[in-house]
């Protein structure tokens, strides 16, 4: 077995289409997607994945209908509230996105609290790091990093720019997954996917399972 510790990143797409196919409201698709994520976190934590980074909500997603946005925010509160499950799986929670105290940040206070609490209550775990990208956009991340680099008067090098990313300790992505038949990157981890393999699947996120995860991981072996 290859013991390399992997970074898997997922653009969790297709919740709405999954629901529509079943005659359900889009919100039901997001609920199913959150459950699928909980399953994938468990499965990944039992494999050679040391970092799992998922796109929960983008800087572009705020324009969606208010009721849908509210539902998705509630699901993030639920996700970050799964503390005992995360602790059972030795998973440490992490978050990337527009910093709460900076202009432009849109994360409401109750989601901020849930994020802070999940990070605090899982910080002792030594297993997989689950990074949730919420109010995240790669262009915002890179623009901010460039501004900070200029302000620091450091030399403009890739290593110095990397230091100013939301989480400079995130390793490069080994495989990027996008579900539901779209082959777009949608402003996700543009810097970190530099050398990543890409796994596209037709399956919508609520149906993504451990078999798909293994297929994505297998891409990193060749």
Q: Which residue from 15, 89, 125, 140 is in contact with ligand IPE, where contact means CB under 6 A?
A: 15
- Binding of residue 61 to ligand IPE (CB under 6 A): yes
Among 139, 184, 202, 214, binds ligand IPE (CB under 6 A): 184
Query: Residue 61 catalytic?
Result: yes
Cα 48 to Cα 5: distance, rounded to the nearest angstrom: 5
Q: How far, in Å, CA of 184 to CA of 58, rounded?
A: 14
- Tell whether residue 80 is a contact of ligand IPE (CB under 6 A): no
DSSP string of 21-42, one letter each residue: HTT--HHHHHHHHHHHHHHHHH
For residue 44, the minimal CB distance to Mg ion (Å) is 22
Is 111 near ligand IPE (CB under 6 A)? no
134 binds ligand IPE (CB under 6 A): no
Counting contacts by CB under 5 A, is residue 141 touching Mg ion? no
User: Which one of the spans 85-93, 104-112, 150-158, 179-187 is the region binding ligand IPE (CB under 6 A)?
Assistant: 179-187
Asked if 208 interacts with Mg ion (CB under 5 A), we say: no
CA geometry: angle at 38 spanning 64 and 137, to 5°?
Answer: 40
Contacts of 104 (CB under 8 A, 6+ apart): 98, 140
The pair of three-digit structure tokens given for residue 55, joined into one six-digit string: 């796109």
* Contact flag: residue 50 with ligand IPE (CB under 6 A): no
Taking CB under 5 A as the rule, does residue 13 contact Mg ion?
A: yes
Residue 123 interacts with which of ligand IPE, Mg ion, none, CB < 5 to 8 Å by class = none
In which residue are the tokens 């994360």 written? Answer: 107
- Locus of tokens 């991340």: 141
Nearer CB in complex with ligand IPE: 26/164:
26
The residue among 61 and 138 lying less far from ligand IPE, judged by its C-beta, is 61
Considering only CA atoms, which of 105, 94, 115 is closest in space to residue 144?
105
Q: Which listed residue (15, 61, 89, 94) is catalytic? A: 61
Phi/psi at 8 (5° precision): -110, 130
Phi, psi torsion values for 199, nearest 5 degrees: -115, 105
Q: 64: which DSSP letter?
A: S
If one asks whether residue 53 binds ligand IPE (CB under 6 A), the answer comes out as no
Q: Which residues bind ligand IPE (CB under 6 A)?
A: 11-17, 55-58, 61, 72, 180, 182, 184, 186
- For the annotated catalytic residues, the residue numbers are 13, 61
């Amino acid at each position: 077995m290859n013991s390399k510790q992997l970074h898997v990143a997922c653009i969790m797409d297709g919740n709405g289409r999954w629901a529509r196919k079943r005659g359900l409201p889009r919100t039901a698709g997001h609920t199913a997607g959150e459950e699928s994520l909980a399953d994938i976190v468990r499965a990944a934590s039992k494999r050679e994945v040391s970092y799992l980074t998922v796109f929960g909500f983008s800087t572009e997603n705020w324009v969606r209908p208010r009721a849908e946005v509210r539902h998705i925010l509630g699901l993030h509160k639920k996700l970050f509230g799964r503390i005992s499950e995360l602790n059972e799986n030795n998973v440490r929670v992490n978050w990337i996105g527009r910093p709460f105290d900076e202009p432009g940040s849109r994360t409401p206070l109750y989601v901020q609290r849930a994020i802070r609490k999940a990070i605090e209550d899982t910080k002792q775990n030594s297993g997989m790091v689950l990074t949730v990208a919420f109010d995240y956009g790669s262009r915002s991340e890179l623009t901010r990093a460039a501004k900070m680099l200029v302000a620091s008067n450091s030399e403009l090098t890739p290593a110095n720019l990397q230091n100013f990313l939301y989480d400079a300790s995130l390793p490069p992505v080994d495989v990027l997954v996008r579900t539901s038949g779209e082959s777009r990157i949608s402003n996700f981890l543009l810097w970190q996917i530099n050398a990543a393999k890409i796994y596209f699947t037709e399956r919508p996120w609520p149906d993504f399972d451990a078999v798909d995860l293994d297929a994505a991981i297998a891409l990193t072996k060749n």
